């Protein structure tokens, strides 16, 4: 079943645009998401900074609009948006381990869309994914990011459980 196309007429930086959700998906299909500072929009299974997406779609300079305007425009086109939580304090107490365990459960659910990919994780969030560890390290270096962990997401249930085939 095909998804419904949403069309919105918007004025950004004094210029009128007619935007479709399908145009947004197409514009970021081959674009690497930049690091999330605070706000993000979800396109496919990837999180992008809203200004990056709106700039890609419209061709406007990012200084021509605010993050909130970009986020509002993209949510009106049907994309989910969120805000990155502030980093939890780093302590080694038993209670913090319980909290981190709960975070990893939510993260595990989000990782299903990255099956077979290498991911970099920081503060319980996926920074970026790539098909090889080298590509992932290059992205982290290029964007000045450091990950808490980096691993390949298993692509089958068998690989995820660690059971050997019969």
Predicted local confidence at residue 91, as pLDDT? 46
* Neighbouring residues of 54: CB distance < 8 A, sequence distance ≥ 6: 12, 60, 65, 69, 70, 73, 74
Instruction: Give the three-class secondary structure for 9.
Output: strand
pLDDT at 28: 94
Q: Which pLDDT belongs to residue 101?
A: 40
Largest CA distance in the chain: 64
pLDDT at 160: 63
Please report the pLDDT score of residue 94 as a whole number.
Answer: 38
pTM for the predicted model, two decimal places? 0.66
Q: Could you give the CA distance from residue 24 to residue 11 in angstroms, rounded to a whole number?
A: 16
Query: 156: which residues sit within 8 A by CB, 6+ positions away?
Result: 115
* Residue 140: alpha-carbon gap to chain centroid: 14
Residue 20's pLDDT is 94
Distances (CA, A) of 147 to 122, 126, 134, 155: 5, 9, 14, 22
Q: Which residues of the chain have pLDDT under 50?
A: 1, 91-104
User: What is the reported pLDDT for 121?
Assistant: 86
Whole-angstrom Cα Rg for the chain: 18
Q: What is the pLDDT of residue 57?
A: 95
Q: What share of the chain is helix, strand, coil (3-state, %, to 5)?
A: 40, 25, 35
What is the model's pLDDT at position 10? 93
């Amino acid at each position: 079943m095909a998804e419904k196309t949403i069309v919105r007429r918007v004025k950004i930086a004094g210029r009128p645009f007619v935007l479709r959700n399908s145009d947004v998906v197409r514009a970021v299909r081959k674009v690497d998401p930049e690091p999330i500072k605070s706000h993000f929009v979800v396109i496919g299974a990837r999180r992008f900074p809203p200004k990056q997406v709106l700039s890609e779609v419209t061709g406007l300079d990012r200084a021509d609009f605010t993050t909130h305007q970009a986020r509002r425009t993209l949510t009106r086109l049907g994309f989910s948006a969120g805000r990155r939580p502030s980093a939890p304090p780093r302590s080694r107490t038993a209670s913090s381990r319980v909290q981190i365990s709960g975070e990893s459960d939510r993260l595990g659910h989000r990782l299903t869309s990255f099956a077979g990919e290498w991911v970099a994780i920081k503060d319980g969030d996926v920074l970026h994914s790539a098909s090889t560890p080298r590509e992932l390290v290059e992205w982290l270096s290029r964007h000045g990011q450091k990950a808490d962990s980096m691993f390949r997401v298993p692509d089958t249930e068998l690989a995820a459980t660690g059971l050997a085939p019969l």
